[in-house]
């Protein structure tokens, strides 16, 4: 199976989950029109702007596309058949097909699964930490003023 065909099947099967994952990964807005071409363009743009290797891009793609599959649909049935035929999970299948197309070898591991969004979470953690520090300083200042009033 070609990467574009797999992408088309996954997008057709669960576009809402793909849209959510694209948004969570920080590469698309919630108003994005989810199509195979738009998703592939978002991946290419991400790889170029982030200066990522092909292997990193394949792992990122696999994490974004690793969504629940509704097997009662035609696209879901085709994906399920491909997974059964290969004996791989959807995540492993995505990595296998995309890495073969690029002519690279990408190891499937628990470490690289779901790490696609970790950079965006780090940014969020820094923002929350910043607000926490400002809050602690403000409370300290307020307590200092209160203590000064009590002493005077």
> Domain limits of the chain?
3-116, 117-152
Mean pLDDT by 10 residues, the chain (152 residues): 88 90 85 88 84 85 87 92 91 89 77 52 68 91 91 84
How would you write the chain as a 3-class SS string? CCHHHHHHHHHHHCHHHHHHHHHHCCCCCCCCCCCHHHHHHHHHHHHHHHCCCHHHHHHHHHHHHCCCCCCCCHHHHHHHHHHHHHCCCHHHHHHHHHHHHHCCCCCCCCCCCCCCCHHHHHHHHHHHHHHHHHHHHHHHHHHHHHHHHHHC
């Amino acid at each position: 199976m070609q990467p574009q065909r797999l992408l088309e099947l996954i997008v057709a099967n669960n576009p809402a989950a793909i849209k959510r994952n694209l948004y969570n990964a920080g590469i698309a807005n919630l108003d994005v029109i989810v199509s195979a071409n738009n998703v592939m363009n978002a991946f290419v743009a991400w790889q170029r702007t982030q200066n990522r290797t092909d292997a990193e891009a394949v792992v990122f793609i696999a994490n974004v596309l690793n969504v629940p599959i509704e097997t009662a649909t035609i696209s879901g049935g085709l994906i399920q058949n491909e997974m059964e035929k290969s004996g791989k999970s959807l995540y492993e299948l995505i990595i296998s097909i995309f890495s073969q197309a690029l002519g690279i070898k990408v190891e499937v591991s628990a470490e690289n699964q779901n790490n696609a969004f970790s950079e965006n979470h780090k940014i969020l953690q820094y923002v929350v930490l910043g607000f926490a520090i400002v809050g602690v300083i403000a409370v300290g200042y307020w307590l200092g003023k209160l203590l000064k009033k009590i002493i005077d």
